[in-house]
Amino acid sequence: MIQRRPFFLTFLAPAVVTAVILAAALFEVLQYSVREFVPGSLNVGGFTLENFTRINRPIYWWVLLDTFYISLLTAIFSLLLSYPVAFALVRAKRDWVRSLLVSLSITPLFTGEIVRTFSWMLMLGSDGFINSLLRKLSLIDLPLLIMYTRLGVVVALVQFSMPVMIILLATAISHVDRDCEKAAANLGASPGAVFWRITLPLTLPGMLSGIVVVFAWTMSAFSTPQLIGGGKVLMISNLVYLQGFSVLNLPFAATLSLIALIAALGSLVLMKALTGRLEKRLAVR
């Protein structure tokens, strides 16, 4: 008999064990989300759906809306700022320029959220870089309040999400058939028209997936709203932390985590549907 699947079980077993552990952790969140909160205790009571009905209060709605709003703003600004960089990164004529652009735009991804959030605290604080600079130039007398505002949070989050956006856009731009652009130019389109009529529409699926990925990613941001928002800007992650570690209401924290997970999954499903349709429309045949 031909041995059809050498190493199959040996290689499968560790993956299955890992998947089971991961699933168990997620199941614990689900399990806690339908348990009763016992005030003053980390133990939980019996089955209840009360945690889910509790969401239906204005303060929680506002946190959810704020989370959506901040994530959407971040996604849009991230797209606007990333597109030129991604375009330059793909189309730069010199090799070293491309390498430099890749390094500058991608390495921030790997310094970690704490380092990056902290660096923005140094930038935005009332004694921070921006305020010191502006005061030195005598443009302002009193420090601008950017820390502890939505603006500050968005400014940091946009920078935070740009590497991912740039990767996605660069991939989309590099897949544009240059002959299409040449054909358009040959038919009399100016460089501007080539970009707006050919290149940009062809990268629309990439832009869309970039927006959704950054949106989903930002919705689960924690340290930036925590430290730069400083309690004045609450996103769902901060609420989970507050409920879990200050109020010690683990069931409600679990419910909120679950909602965040569903929102992230939901936006991804939405993206698949939208980009799928777009790509079908853009396909030549």
Partner 1 sequence: MTATSQAPAAVELVRVRKEFGSAVGVADVSLKIGQGEFLTLLGPSGCGKSTLLGMIAGFLTPTAGKIVVDGVDITDVEPYRRDIGMVFQSYALFPHMNVFDNIAFGLRMRKLPKAEIAAEVRRAIEMMKLDGFAERRVSQLSGGQQQRVALARAVVIRPKVLLLDEPLSALDKNLRAQMQVELSELHRKTGLTTIFVTHDQGEALSLSDRIVVMNRGEVQQVASPIELYRTPANGFVASFIGEINALPVARYERTGNEAALVLPGVGRLAAPARDSGLIHGSAVRAFLRPEHVRPALPDEAGPNTVSGVVAAHIYQGSHTITRVEVDGLGLIETRVTGADIVSAHPVGAPIALMLDLGEAVLLAAH
Partner 2 sequence: MTFARLRSLGFWSLVVAILTYMTLPTLVVLMTSVNPTEILAFPPEGVSFQWYEKALTYPDFQRAFKNGLIVTSLASTLALIVGSAFAWLVYRYSFRGRGVLEAVLWSPLIIPHFTLGFGFLLLGGAFKLQQGYGMIVLAHMVLVMPFVTRAVYVSLATIDPNLARAAANLGASPFHVLTRIELPLVLPGMAGGWLIAAVLSLTEFTASLYVTGSRTQTLPVAMYNYIREYADPTVSAVSAMLIITTTLIMFIADRAFGLRRVLAIDTH
* Torsion sign over Cα 71, 264, 27, 18: negative
Which partner, partner 2, partner 1, none, binds residue 1 by CB below 5 to 8 Å per kind?
partner 1
C-beta atoms surrounding 129 within 10 Å = 13
Which partner, partner 2, partner 1, none, binds residue 25 by CB below 5 to 8 Å per kind?
partner 2
Rounded to an integer, what distance in angstroms lies between the CA atom of residue 44 and that of residue 24? 18
Q: Which of residues 223-242 bind partner 2 (CB under 8 A)?
A: 223, 227, 237, 240-241
Q: Tokens 């996604």 label which residue?
A: 75
The 8-class DSSP code of residue 148 comes to: T
Amino acid in the structure at residue 47:
F
Q: Minimal distance in Å, beta carbon 90 to partner 1?
A: 27
Q: Minimal distance in Å, beta carbon 58 to partner 2?
A: 23
Q: Is 55 in the site for partner 2 (CB under 8 A)?
A: no
Q: What are phi and psi of 47, to 5 degrees?
A: -70, 135
Q: Is 103 in the site for partner 2 (CB under 8 A)?
A: yes
Q: Minimal distance in Å, beta carbon 159 to partner 2?
A: 6
Rounded to an integer, what distance in angstroms lies between the CA atom of residue 141 and that of residue 63? 34
Q: Minimal distance in Å, beta carbon 239 to partner 2?
A: 10
Q: Tokens 């609420």 label which residue?
A: 239
Interface pick for partner 2 out of 40, 46, 58, 127 (rule CB under 8 A) = 127
Rounded to an integer, what distance in angstroms lies between the CA atom of residue 65 and that of residue 71? 10
Q: Which is nearer to partner 2, 49 or 97 (CB)?
A: 97
Q: Which of residues 119-138 bind partner 1 (CB under 8 A)?
A: none
Q: Tokens 């005061």 label which residue?
A: 135
Q: Is 137 in the site for partner 2 (CB under 8 A)?
A: no
Q: Across the chain, which distance is largest between two alpha carbons, in Å?
A: 85
Which partner, partner 2, partner 1, none, binds residue 2 by CB below 5 to 8 Å per kind?
partner 1
Q: How many residues bind partner 1 (CB under 8 A)?
A: 3
Q: Is 5 in the site for partner 1 (CB under 8 A)?
A: no
Q: Minimal distance in Å, beta carbon 188 to partner 1?
A: 36
Q: Is 101 in the site for partner 2 (CB under 8 A)?
A: yes
Q: Is 1 in the site for partner 1 (CB under 8 A)?
A: yes
Q: With contacts defined by CB under 8 A, name the span among 10-18, 52-60, 140-148, 180-188 that binds partner 2.
A: 10-18
Interface pick for partner 2 out of 72, 76, 261, 278 (rule CB under 8 A) = 261
Which partner, partner 2, partner 1, none, binds residue 178 by CB below 5 to 8 Å per kind?
none
Which residues form the interface with partner 1 (CB under 8 A)? Answer: 1-3
